[in-house]
Amino acid sequence: LVVSSSGDFGLETIYQGFSDVTCFDINLLSRHMLYVKIAAVQALTYQEFCRLFQTTLTKEWLYKISPYLPDSTFLFFDTLFQANSSSKLLNLFTHKYSKCAEYFFQKCQQNFSVYNEKEFYQLKECLRADMFHFLPLDIFQKEKVSTCLNEYDFIYLSNILFFASISIEDFLKN
């Protein structure tokens, strides 16, 4: 069980040898971002993958990776493009607080295997979309989290404390 966020943690757990990953997030858009990342690894070369995640998702990118996308994810982004006059969306892939997309990408290379060429191709060889599940989950809802605790061999919460608006003491109690 790993936080979904932009999909990087899920991809990393597959690279590290896990074969069945449940990604969770309170933000339902994270599910679509996860499947865009999976499809991008499956459909693109490393150089194309890097270009995509240093720029923006365009209609052209969407259609290029579409054979690997779940129908619901393709429909979600295709509808966004149809509803907007622009042929591209805001940059969905770089952190909004990052001053520079290149700097952010370098940080990703330091922390996630998928952003390094050799590891990208190793991941590409073993990656299948059916290795992933998405769970809409707010980790501060005790009753939902307690049912998950015994279902997973590994639980990774990433930097949730950084974004949580409660004290560490309250987080530990929850």
**This prediction's pTM:** 0.82
Query: In the predicted model, what is the mean pLDDT of residues 85-91?
Result: 60
| pLDDT tens digits, one per residue of 132-142 | 999 998 877 77
- Sole residue written with tokens 């990208």: 120
pLDDT for 96 equals: 47
Q: Report the alpha-carbon distance of residue 99 to residue 15 in Å, rounded.
A: 29
- Sole residue written with tokens 């991008």: 40
| pLDDT tens digits, one per residue of 90-116 | 555 554 445 566 777 788 888 889 999
| pLDDT tens digits, one per residue of 8-43 | 999 999 999 999 999 999 888 999 999 999 999 999
pLDDT confidence bin for 82, thresholds 50/70/90? confident
Is-contact 10 34, C-beta < 8 A? Answer: yes
The number of angstroms, rounded, from the C-alpha of 131 to the middle of its chain's C-alpha atoms is 14
Which is more confident, 93 or 6? 6
| pLDDT tens digits, one per residue of 48-78 | 998 888 777 888 999 999 999 999 999 999 9
